[in-house]
């Protein structure tokens, strides 16, 4: 696979770049973004993989989170993939809804037609994309993973399902218990089928109990988040971690909502959380 440069911008002494490539996991072309800090000009650097939420692309985080300044200071790269496959032949929601299909891949590997042909976002972000970027760019295989909302779900599940692959994990307002919320029911019933026992392998609260690795989880949640009670349910993650003895830092923030104003307010704390594990 080869990378085609789409655009580049100088930022805090490093480079923000967007690349296009053909994805074998997803059966389509994909675009992703990478921020290379100035330290990457002297040699490979650790990398944080960021997974965005419903309706987003690679551009939302890179343009709105304000992460580049701290990433440049720490010497950590950031890779931000898209949130779903795109392009001709990739099916979306038949009703045109925003919470399923295009922009809403949910970071699972779909098993049901017609979604199983393209919607294999877990394999893409965990295996294909890291192999590609770490082979082509000055990135070390010292990985952290983080994300927001649907992407927070994806980050937690990626770390829990793949022990040893990541050194750190965090999430903003994640969907922690998708088998018990409307967004999860809609996505999982279509991507994974009606057998709810198969859904448990893609649910952070279910995976915590048998996780073979106990990476500390950092989760930040705004208390003014309109999705908090129905979709996000951080208390379920808190209970699962308590029952399993899994380390969790759950930070609740009064007045903060689900937007990138919230993410921008606390992204530095997350980057420093990852730096503690990723840097020598």
- Tally Cβ neighbours within 10 Å of residue 204: 29
Measure the CA–CA gap between 237 and 153, rounded to whole angstroms: 11
Residue 136 CA to residue 218 CA, distance in Å, equals: 30
Decide the pairing of beta strands 45-51 and 139-147: parallel
Q: Which of 11, 84, 149, 170 is catalytic?
A: 149
Active site residue 52: no
Calpha distance 91→115 (Å, rounded)? 7
Which pair of structure tokens corresponds to residue 82? 């898209």
- Asked about 225 being catalytic, the answer comes back as yes
User: Hey, which residues does 147 pair with through a beta bridge?
Assistant: 51
Separation of alpha carbons 137 and 44, rounded Å: 8
Q: How distant, in Å, are the alpha carbons of 70, 134, 157, 167, 249 from that of 106?
A: 28, 24, 10, 22, 24
Please choose, from the candidates 82, 32, 65, 16, the residue with its C-alpha nearest in 3D space to the C-alpha of residue 261: 65
- Catalytic residue, chosen from 225, 246, 270, 273, is 225
**CB-CB contact of 27 with 40 (8 Å):** no
Q: Is 270 a catalytic residue?
A: no
Q: Which of 153, 258, 270, 273 is catalytic?
A: 258
DSSP string, 76-128: -EEEE--SS--STT----TT--TTSBTTB-TT-B--STTGGGT-BHHHIIIII
Q: Which residues are catalytic?
A: 149, 225, 258
């Amino acid at each position: 696979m080869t990378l085609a440069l789409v655009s580049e911008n100088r930022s805090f002494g490093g480079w923000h770049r967007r690349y296009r490539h053909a994805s074998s996991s997803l059966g389509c072309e994909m675009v992703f973004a990478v921020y290379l800090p100035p330290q990457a000009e002297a040699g490979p650097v650790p990398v944080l993989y960021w997974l965005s939420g419903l309706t987003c692309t690679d551009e939302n985080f890179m343009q709105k989170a304000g992460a580049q300044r701290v990433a440049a200071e720490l010497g950590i790269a950031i890779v931000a993939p898209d949130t779903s496959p795109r392009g001709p032949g990739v099916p979306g929601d038949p009703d045109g809804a925003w919470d399923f299909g295009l922009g809403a891949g949910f970071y699972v590997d779909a098993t049901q037609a017609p979604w199983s042909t393209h919607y294999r976002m877990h394999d893409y972000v965990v295996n294909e994309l890291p192999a590609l970027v770490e082979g082509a760019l000055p990135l070390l295989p010292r990985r952290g993973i983080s994300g927001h909302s649907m992407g927070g779900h994806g980050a937690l599940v990626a770390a829990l399902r793949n022990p040893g692959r990541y050194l750190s994990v965090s999430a903003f307002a994640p969907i922690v218990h998708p088998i018990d919320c409307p967004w999860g029911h809609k996505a999982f019933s279509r991507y994974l089928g009606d057998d709810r026992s198969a859904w448990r392998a893609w649910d952070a609260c279910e995976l915590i109990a048998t996780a073979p690795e106990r990476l500390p989880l950092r989760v930040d949640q705004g208390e003014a988040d309109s999705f908090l009670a129905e979709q996000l349910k951080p208390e379920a993650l808190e209970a699962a971690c308590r029952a399993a003895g899994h380390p969790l830092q759950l930070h609740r923030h009064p007045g903060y909502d689900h937007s990138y104003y919230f993410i921008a307010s606390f992204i530095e704390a997350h980057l420093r959380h990852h730096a503690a594990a990723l840097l020598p």
